[in-house]
Structure 1
Amino acid sequence: MSRFIILCLATLVWVCSLAGCATRPHATQALTVQMDCGRLPVTVTYADEHATVLAGETELALKAARSASGAKYQLPDNEQTFFWSKGSSAYLQIAGRPWPDCIERGSLPDRLQARGNEPFWLTDVHSGQLTLRTPDNPDPTPVTGHRQALANGGIRIHAQVDGVEVVLDIYQQLCKDSMTGMPYPYRAELAHGQTRAQGCAGAPENLLQGAAWRVIAIDDELVAEDAIGTIEFFADGLVTGQAFCNRFSGRHALSGEGLRIGPLASTRMACSEPLMTLENRLIQHLEQVIRFDIGTDGELVLITADNRRISARLKLDQPALHAR
């Protein structure tokens, strides 16, 4: 091989390393990456032309597939199950069901909104660009934003907006909007000139979706261990679950105003009277939910207008293999 060709190849490898070109690990370079797809913890191990994806307690053995960008792996002879990585993010689909976007731990989504109140501010970070919207600047122009890791585990995004330095620090800590109480997956701190402000960032739906929730209490009344009630929120707006006796399904909608569930439909199997009583209470409460919260121990709390509550904890076993 000529020196010219060797030099060209070396240059290409160097450029790709700077640009973050998507390459699959070599057979001798097994690589393990920890990610979160909403509430679903995912471990991906790359080796040669294969990727092993451990999603909750479900393991998928995938093989490299053609893709226009990034690195895509799919279940052999099943195009409906795949893992498609692009930089520090990825898309996971199992049996045709899409999961929330997967984000490598210690990194941020490519697109991230952060916001705060009193005074109002909203930042939109997307593809290396940052936009800061305030009451004085309701239609801002995107500017280049630069990311850097902080020693305390946060990520800093800084930019120049109209000659004034903007610094946005993001921390992977639960945050609740100061006006609505809506929970968010990230806490945000904004410095804009002399202004210092607190806020929240990320998508609230990522706190709901990705794994099933097991109902542990209704109106602070604990549910017996042998009574199985579950709720699962899907990225496409579907909500399903086990209402102690029958399975139910319907739609859910999350907005800045809160969370709405229903109407719900269910199967019609007959069970013991205690289970049917629990089931009726669960369905009635779900259809009257107006918002949700995340407790200090990570439990989900669904809240109705008259402050009735459903409490649930994460259930990660076999998150993808049951019927929708």
Structure 2
Amino acid sequence: MRSVIPILCGLVLYAWPATAAETGKATAEFACGPHHVVLTLRHGYPSLTLSGRKRQIERQPAASGVRYRSVDGGAAVRFWEKGPEALLEIGGAEPVACTRIEPGEAAMLPFKARGNEPPWLLGISASGVTLLLDYGQTTVEAIKPPAIEGDDGLAYSTEAEGRPLNIRISGDICHDSMAGTPFPKTVEVAFGDRTLRGCGGEIWELLNESHWIVSTLNGHAVPGDRPPTLTFGAEGKLTGLGGCNSFFTIATTDGPRFLTGPVAATKRACPTALMAVEDAFLGILDGAESFDLRDGGGKLVIRDRAGSELVAHRGKR
């Protein structure tokens, strides 16, 4: 790789074609060991954030690509980019290898996946990949390679311990083979001659910022034109309409378990038939114990401790 050229103290960034400046991207992110680097271009003016600290930089002449230098008097930092790979040097220390974080994976990292028979665990951070095998007795580690974005998700291809390590992550909903717990990602890991299949991502991703319209309660279609609704928000917030009254509660997921806190509702009076629907709906919600997603994520099923269930379909707010 190109050698480092001594320059004045400060922060300097060198870049080759296909960098943020050439592609017109507003933001480019990189994982450099423990450091997270974000280069932002706004109205033609660059800024650089290093591990959460924003640095003032200016563009400098360069024989190839683009070079930036800090103007805020901070520690000497150099950054060299070439396509998906780069080098970061801070304070004259040994350069650290970097890889570009693609837009499709930025929101996903850090990522965890797991599988059974035999059990395995996979962790992907902005800088590395860790695979635990053989009931945790074997640890495989590698620098995170650039992500390969495809129509159905992301892929990573690298080597660890002299053997190929290939990871495929798709957006298909996955059910744990032991407990049946739904997860937002389906994962396949090929390491040497071993192929592992399992599930990944955080369970709450399946529900966060989604809206549902209840269609059946205990196998019976909801009558009328005011069906109960559920809207999941950040930090477990769950709101909606019982059919007559608005309600609020906090929902949590713990493996296959789906739990709610006390359900608070307004006290409006409605016709008897509508109140019967609301009472059945809120009763299931108040005693909720498990949930599942079916039909590719378009159908939500919530069951309570007594075995009663509600079925809802994804809708628009």
TM-score tier (shorter): 0.5 to 0.7
Higher relative contact order (CA 8 A, sep 6+): 1
> 1:78-110: per-residue Cα shift (whole Å, max 9, x none)?
xxxxxxxxxxxxxxxxxxxxxxxxx96698723
Report the counterpart of residue 275 of structure 2 in structure 1: 276
TM-score when scaled to structure 1? 0.64
Report the counterpart of residue 296 of structure 1 in structure 2: 295
TM-score when scaled to structure 2? 0.65
Relative to structure 1, is the Cα distance of residues 136 and 229 closer, same or farther in structure 2, using a 3 angstrom cutoff? closer
After superposition, residues 166-205 of structure 1 pair within 5 angstroms as 166-205=165-204
After superposition, residues 1-324 of structure 1 pair within 5 angstroms as 14=17, 16-17=19-20, 23=26, 109-137=108-136, 140=139, 142-149=141-148, 153-296=152-295, 298-317=298-317
Separation of aligned partners in 2, 1:108 and 1:151: 16
Relative to structure 1, is the Cα distance of residues 292 and 139 closer, same or farther in structure 2, using a 3 angstrom cutoff? same
Partners of 1:106 and 1:153 within 8 A in 2: no
Relative to structure 1, is the Cα distance of residues 187 and 18 closer, same or farther in structure 2, using a 3 angstrom cutoff? farther
> 1:187-207: per-residue Cα shift (whole Å, max 9, x none)?
111112222121111222111
Q: Which runs of 5+ in 1 are unaligned?
A: 1-10, 25-47, 50-65, 71-102, 318-324
Q: Using the aligned pairs only, state the percent identity.
A: 25
Give how far 1:221 is off.
Answer: 0.8
Partners of 1:174 and 1:183 within 8 A in 2: yes
Partners of 1:130 and 1:159 within 8 A in 2: no
SS in structure 1 at match of 2:26: coil
Rg: which structure is higher? 2
Partners of 2:158 and 2:164 within 8 A in 1: yes
Partners of 1:147 and 1:155 within 8 A in 2: no
Separation of aligned partners in 1, 2:147 and 2:48: 30
RMSD of aligned C-alpha atoms? 3.5
Separation of aligned partners in 2, 1:186 and 1:20: 30
Separation of aligned partners in 1, 2:309 and 2:132: 36
Give how far 1:18 is off.
Answer: 8.5
> 1:221-255: per-residue Cα shift (whole Å, max 9, x none)?
11125123111222212211111111111111111
Q: Which runs of 5+ in 2 are unaligned?
A: 1-13, 28-41, 53-101
Report the counterpart of residue 3 of structure 1 in structure 2: none
Give how far 1:126 is off.
Answer: 1.3
Separation of aligned partners in 2, 1:282 and 1:67: 51
Relative to structure 1, is the Cα distance of residues 175 and 279 closer, same or farther in structure 2, using a 3 angstrom cutoff? same
Give how far 1:129 is off.
Answer: 1.3
Aligned residues: 239
